[in-house]
Structure 1
């Protein structure tokens, strides 16, 4: 690793491999010398050193779904090194050949409004040996064996509609819940067998899913019909948070919103929700006991955002800002200001902005590290992941990954799995 003049650590592939264009080519030139320095001197700057792990020892990893390259990158959240990747779309052409005309027309329209997205969400099994992927426009969910090179597909489950969207893995690792954007349903899958075990009704275009910490409830949010223009906002359908009993799948409560519910995070006591909404530069704070928005926080529009997204219908799939994470102590929010090309750190106590960091290219998702101290932001067009320190509000590193990184999730994997990764970064 190497620090630049601002103290930013530039991370590279742990195995000395780099590919891509633009910024990635610059990383390639540095890869060998930087890796040599890292090996000889240990990790410098703000990256935290770790002792070599035994083959069976579980290690924290950040999974990054590269939506357009169809891969999942594995990142060391302490050294900020790219450890390698898994190709999860080797069967892409076969899947496309099976699609009907309506599916192809739907995908053609969506691709004109954001590009191909074949990796939507990613999770690891509790033992770190199985990778689960919601495969977006391929319209399915698949599981991959990470115990041997080749990473064979264990099972695939076609979505009932056209698009497999955001997912969640139950705390015990036994059940996946996945939104099907076009069918107003979320469906549950047995993580071992790949068989569907149930489904429940949602609002229009269901999006994010979350299990409660005890696994007893499922929180599903919907964004409304993104194919309609802003002028027809009233026709976009139900945009809501639905709370469902995870065992019976009975609806417990519905909280409706005036706009689509985008990335959102809950406080551990499940009393407060912070959520981004379609068309809103900023976020809302929701009292879940009252079922009402208590605060709306508007963030500034950048000059780039005003010039390139002058109208609501220019927003990518209706979303202005798309990425929100909560620090481990609950004191800070990390916000991806997508169309404005910035990342912001915000105090949850005052809802005031601590810092806005410019210089990003369509930041599209945010995830908090396992220890709660860092925020990882997918910098989609650049093909990198930015690392932000909640305490200092500074960018600590920028890590090259694959094409159009989007969803990222924390997980654990044994060293034996990490040894089997493809050395390319994504």
Structure 2
């Protein structure tokens, strides 16, 4: 274990505020597995290689329905086959990113009324809005580049962010119509998008060219050049301007950890939204980053103002894989990070190690939960006391109790589940499904 500083945030106050906010949000959405409310709280599991999404009851953990996320597959393939450039990227995604498979379902969010599901589809380089009652596509937004990736949805449920992998930007859309309302710049391969609770900022990261074979930084400059520009940044939603930008590899080097990757993978925001908990490429563990720490070296930031932000902890988790780093899936030693609403416990998906780690945020003590081959994402359940971990190698989702670090249930889903997101489905839609 490696430690730089001891965490001392006001967890108790933040926990009370966050728990209250969570309860209010669930009530506003009509969440819950009972009979009240206009919608039902669910979890959506994106089955990337299938081109489907499994809808799971958030309380009972029972699968409700499987949604086809590529009902227009014939039309999209006709377009791809007629364009040599699109065909080249479609095949490249299969070989370099999809482990021999097309990527049809990456990320998903519902509207707050539970009637529409927005889905990013990497191999089709687009985002679509699917009417949940009929299964029909009601809008489609095509990327400027050749691949779509992670998304984010604003707290009010109106704005949708989608990372445009090869255009090095993030688009902002009206989630109900798919109309573009703005964009902001990123580095190579924009990835994660996380709104703050008030919707005024977005924590974003670009991961660079994780599909390149140059996985050992022996020649540092050549390595960095081939991996591309990798930034962690905070964006103001008013005007979509970049407020702060960091190279996490440089920040780690300044903290005494040279040679670590700059690519920030999944992240979790603490309730105070000051501390961020990060995973970076090739690292079996987690990093704490204080976005408000003063830079003592007098450096300036992205906007020319005095730089703030510093790595405050670097903590190892057990490395179990015997695979060389060249065989890590898209450079992901670990890929999946969540934090319970109280801000006391982390849930990390140990992708190459076959476990999920339930971690005490303050003491760094961890308990390992064996989940199976290639866990690829972790997120909170609707009610905050569970961590849902997708296990892409076994086509399952494992639900873990934050308090006990015990497996609550294992859910069979579709081929290669990755992103898992909470959402709602309108009750009349549920009746129509039945």
TM-score (ref. length: structure 1): 0.82
Q: Is the 8 A contact 2:90 2:124 kept in 1?
A: no
Q: For residue 214 of structure 1, what is the aligned residue in structure 2?
A: 198
Q: Is the 8 A contact 1:328 1:371 kept in 2?
A: no
Deviation at 1:213, TM superposition (A): 0.8
**Aligned pair partner of 1:253 in 244, 252, 259:** 244
Q: Is the 8 A contact 1:344 1:356 kept in 2?
A: yes
Q: For residue 180 of structure 1, what is the aligned residue in structure 2?
A: 164
Distance (whole Å) between structure 1 residues aligned to residue 155 and residue 33 of structure 2: 28
Q: Which moved more, 1:276-285 or 1:92-101?
A: 92-101
Query: Residue 150 of structure 2 aligns to a residue in which SS?
Result: strand
> Structure 1 segments of 4 or more deviating over 4 A?
none
Q: For residue 365 of structure 1, what is the aligned residue in structure 2?
A: 377
Deviation at 1:51, TM superposition (A): 6.8
Deviation at 1:394, TM superposition (A): 0.3
Query: Residue 112 of structure 1 aligns to a residue in which SS?
Result: helix
Pairing 1:299–2:317 present: yes
Distance (whole Å) between structure 2 residues aligned to residue 396 and residue 187 of structure 1: 37
Pairing 1:282–2:285 present: yes
Deviation at 1:180, TM superposition (A): 0.6
**Aligned pair partner of 1:82 in 63, 68, 71:** 63
**Aligned pair partner of 1:262 in 240, 265, 274:** 265
Distance (whole Å) between structure 1 residues aligned to residue 86 and residue 432 of structure 2: 35
Distance (whole Å) between structure 2 residues aligned to residue 293 and residue 379 of structure 1: 30
**Aligned pair partner of 2:182 in 193, 198, 206:** 198
Distance (whole Å) between structure 2 residues aligned to residue 262 and residue 185 of structure 1: 17
Q: Is the 8 A contact 1:213 1:268 kept in 2?
A: no
1:100-179 map, 5 Å: 100-113=83-96, 114=99, 115-146=101-132, 148=133, 150-179=134-163
Q: Is the 8 A contact 2:281 2:331 kept in 1?
A: yes
Distance (whole Å) between structure 2 residues aligned to residue 92 and residue 242 of structure 1: 35
Q: Is the 8 A contact 1:184 1:206 kept in 2?
A: yes
Q: Which moved more, 1:397-406 or 1:113-122?
A: 113-122
Q: For residue 17 of structure 1, what is the aligned residue in structure 2?
A: none
Distance (whole Å) between structure 2 residues aligned to residue 51 and residue 389 of structure 1: 18
Distance (whole Å) between structure 2 residues aligned to residue 418 and residue 277 of structure 1: 40
1:51-62 map, 5 Å: 53=35, 57-62=38-43
**Aligned pair partner of 1:407 in 388, 409, 419:** 419
Pairing 1:334–2:340 present: no
Aligned-pair Cα RMSD in Å: 1.6
Pairing 1:66–2:47 present: yes
Query: Residue 76 of structure 2 aligns to a residue in which SS?
Result: helix
Deviation at 1:332, TM superposition (A): 0.8
Q: Is the 8 A contact 1:207 1:220 kept in 2?
A: yes
Query: Residue 53 of structure 2 aligns to a residue in which SS?
Result: strand
1:358-398 alpha-carbon deviations (Å, 9 max, x no partner): 25111100110122100000011211110000001100100
1:183-240 alpha-carbon deviations (Å, 9 max, x no partner): 1100111122211111111011110111111111122101011232214531122211
Judged with a 3 Å threshold, the aligned counterparts in structure 2 of structure 1 residues 335 and 341 are, in CA distance, closer, same or farther, namely same
Distance (whole Å) between structure 1 residues aligned to residue 430 and residue 393 of structure 2: 26
Q: For residue 32 of structure 1, what is the aligned residue in structure 2?
A: none
Deviation at 1:96, TM superposition (A): 2.2
TM-score (ref. length: structure 2): 0.81
Distance (whole Å) between structure 2 residues aligned to residue 323 and residue 196 of structure 1: 29
Judged with a 3 Å threshold, the aligned counterparts in structure 2 of structure 1 residues 51 and 167 are, in CA distance, closer, same or farther, namely closer
Distance (whole Å) between structure 1 residues aligned to residue 70 and residue 387 of structure 2: 28
1:371-390 map, 5 Å: 371-390=383-402
Q: Is the 8 A contact 2:93 2:123 kept in 1?
A: no
Distance (whole Å) between structure 1 residues aligned to residue 236 and residue 34 of structure 2: 42
Deviation at 1:416, TM superposition (A): 2.1
Deviation at 1:108, TM superposition (A): 2.1
